[in-house]
């Protein structure tokens, strides 16, 4: 997923629209769920969804070829993990990088069940640098024909919580989420969680495939872990076309979720004056290290027009920016959400 740059103010292009009608975000009212139901979780498919029969599917591992039935006989582990597209928020940048035009909604939190990858890597060759993951989805990007591929360092791939997942929320993976088996790398942006997995292999050199060396890069480096973010459930009710919100005056609980792939979130702040002043919200603990955390804030809403905003800070001191540094592919940007509302009496 690479990007070209649109002039400031240029309308959304037909190329972007084609992607936006296929792929979809999570409607933000679904932030109410600890675990995102099927069909509400965000979804980005690079090429076409490939369809594999679970009975005939095989995974090539460094030392063996394994079937789904064999994979299911191995020790089973579940992790609840927030996944976010590395391009989330891209369409708000100016000038706008042209690719999948996400606003705020390319996120979801699901429970993934599978078996740890590490034991299946076998004896790691002494000269191995990267572990390369190949999916079944096939297409062209910037003239390069490819099966979708990403790599992890041997150390990262050997983490105990990296899974070969075959279930999402207790059900076999849906076709669009990578059936029958996908990679789950808790804490990393979505491009690393390779769907429709077919092959896992060692590389004795730093992997230079398209999705690592050309796409999914920021400031000359491959995109890795998820930057901190908090999102709120837009309060009140929307206008169909503009999505502008109307809120009843009085006590209103603002709430939502927050997450970071870098460290747990320790602070969420809410602004009701478009970032002039910030107030601490209550933040719940992570139910699991990479599951999103609940936050809430009591607002006494008086009639008028407001821009609500929320920002998160993690335990390592990373805080969401209010003014986003720009990058050419629109990757890993995490500007604080802004929700314009009108409060009526």
Contact status: 47 vs a copy of itself (CB under 8 A): yes
Nearer Cβ to a copy of itself (58/138) = 138
Please confirm whether the linkage preceding 202 is cis (ω < 30° from 0). Answer: no
Distances in Å between the Cα of 294 and the Cα atoms of 37, 280, 320 are 17, 13, 17
Among 102, 112, 259, 295, binds a copy of itself (CB under 8 A): 102
Supply the minimum distance, in Å, between the C-beta of residue 254 and a copy of itself. Answer: 15
Listed residue (199, 165, 160) closest to 64, CA to CA: 199
Listed residue (68, 28, 41) closest to 174, CA to CA: 41
Tell me how many residues contact a copy of itself (CB under 8 A).
59
Which structure tokens are listed for 209? 């495939």
Listed residue (217, 235, 242, 310) closest to 272, CA to CA: 310
Supply the minimum distance, in Å, between the C-beta of residue 243 and a copy of itself. Answer: 5
Contact status: 303 vs a copy of itself (CB under 8 A): no
Nearer Cβ to a copy of itself (202/216) = 216
Q: Kindly report each contact of residues 240-249 with a partner whose C-beta sits within 8 Å and lies 24 or more positions away, as own/partner.
A: 244/340, 244/341, 244/342, 245/339, 245/340, 245/341, 245/342, 246/341, 246/342, 246/344, 247/301, 247/341, 247/342, 247/343, 247/344, 248/301, 248/343, 248/344, 249/301, 249/302, 249/303, 249/343, 249/344, 249/345
Nearer Cβ to a copy of itself (49/120) = 49
Residues 193-222 that bind a copy of itself (CB under 8 A): none
Which structure tokens are listed for 6? 């649109």
Residues 5-24 that bind a copy of itself (CB under 8 A): 10-24
Nearer Cβ to a copy of itself (25/222) = 25
Residues 234-273 that bind a copy of itself (CB under 8 A): 234, 237-243, 246
Contact status: 337 vs a copy of itself (CB under 8 A): no
Contact status: 101 vs a copy of itself (CB under 8 A): yes
Bridge partners of residue 298, in order along the sequence: 253
Spell out, one character per residue from 78 to 97, where the chain touches a copy of itself: x when CB under 8 A holds, - when not.
Answer: -------------x------
Supply the minimum distance, in Å, between the C-beta of residue 317 and a copy of itself. Answer: 31
How is residue 191 annotated by DSSP? G
Contact status: 172 vs a copy of itself (CB under 8 A): no
Helix H or strand E encompassing 17: helix 14-22
Supply the minimum distance, in Å, between the C-beta of residue 10 and a copy of itself. Answer: 6
Choices 42-50, 67-75, 110-118, 294-302 (CB under 8 A): range interacting with a copy of itself: 42-50
Backbone angles phi, psi at 324, to 5 degrees: -85, 125
Nearer Cβ to a copy of itself (239/316) = 239
Contact status: 25 vs a copy of itself (CB under 8 A): yes
Contacting positions for a copy of itself (CB under 8 A): 1-2, 10-25, 27, 29-30, 32, 37-41, 43, 45-49, 51, 91, 98-99, 101-103, 105, 138-141, 145, 174-177, 234, 237-243, 246
């Amino acid at each position: 997923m690479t990007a070209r740059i649109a002039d400031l103010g240029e309308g959304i292009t037909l190329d972007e629209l084609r992607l936006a009608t296929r792929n979809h975000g999570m409607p933000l009212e679904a932030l109410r769920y600890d675990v995102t139901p099927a069909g509400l979780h965000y979804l980005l498919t690079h090429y076409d969804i490939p369809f594999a029969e679970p009975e005939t599917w095989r995974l090539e591992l460094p030392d063996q070829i394994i079937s789904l039935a064999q994979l299911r006989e191995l020790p089973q582990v579940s992790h609840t993990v927030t996944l976010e597209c590395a391009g989330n928020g891209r369409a708000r940048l100016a000038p706008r990088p042209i690719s999948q035009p996400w606003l705020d909604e390319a996120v979801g939190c699901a429970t993934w069940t599978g078996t740890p990858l590490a034991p299946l890597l076998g004896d790691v060759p002494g000269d191995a640098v990267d572990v390369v993951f190949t999916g079944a989805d096939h297409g062209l990007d910037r003239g390069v024909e490819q099966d979708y591929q990403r790599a992890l360092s041997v150390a990262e791939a050997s983490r105990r919580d990296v899974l070969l997942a075959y279930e999402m929320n207790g059900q076999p993976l849906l076709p669009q989420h990578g059936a029958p088996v996908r990679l789950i790398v808790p804490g990393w942006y979505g491009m690393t969680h390779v769907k429709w997995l077919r092959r896992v292999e060692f590389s004795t050199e730093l992997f230079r495939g398209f999705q690592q060396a050309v796409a999914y890069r920021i400031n000359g480096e491959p995109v890795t872990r998820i930057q901190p973010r908090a999102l709120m459930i837009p309060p009140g009710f929307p206008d169909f076309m503009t999505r502008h919100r109307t809120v009843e005056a009085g006590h209103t609980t603002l709430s939502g979720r927050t997450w970071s792939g870098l460290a747990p979130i320790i602070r969420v702040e809410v602004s009701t004056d478009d970032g002039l002043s910030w107030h601490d919200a209550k933040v719940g603990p992570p139910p699991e290290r990479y599951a999103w955390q609940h936050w809430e804030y009591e607002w006494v809403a008086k009639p008028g027009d407001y821009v609500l905003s929320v920002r998160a800070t993690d335990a390592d001191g990373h805080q969401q920016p209010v003014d986003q540094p720009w990058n050419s592919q629109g990757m890993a940007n995490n500007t604080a959400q802004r929700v314009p509302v009108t409060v009526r009496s």
